[in-house]
Amino acid sequence: MSEPAPDGRSAPSLTSVLTCPHCGHAWAETMPTDACLFFHDCPGCGARLRPKPGDCCVFCSFGSLPCPPVQAARLRAADPGPG
């Protein structure tokens, strides 16, 4: 993850490495924090990446890290909170 958030918890990372399932080309992308990226074209072969069934975006399907909303949900689930 990245820098701690103001509340002391880790903030979601905003960079993920996408790997094309067709040609294997890998590249770093900055993930949007306010929307899911449903389509993305591979710069290596031009294939249009779409999320796998059950995933919300291409980062969750083909990225080294899931999208920021999924990262945040996992952080909340792992944090037992005060007390």
- Number of separate domains in the chain: 1
Query: What residues form DSSP beta bridges with 49?
Result: 40
State the pairing for strand pair 40-41/26-30. Answer: unpaired
Prediction pTM value? 0.80
pLDDT tens string 10-36: 778 999 999 999 999 999 999 998 888
Does residue 30 form part of some domain? Answer: yes
Which residue range(s) make up the domain with 38? 15-78
| Residue 3: pLDDT band with limits 50, 70, 90 | very low
Does residue 5 form part of some domain? Answer: no
**For residue 4, what pLDDT is reported?**
45
CA-wise closest residue to 37 among 52, 23, 56: 56
Cα separations (Å) of 41 from 18, 23, 38, 75?
Answer: 11, 12, 10, 29
Does residue 83 form part of some domain? Answer: no
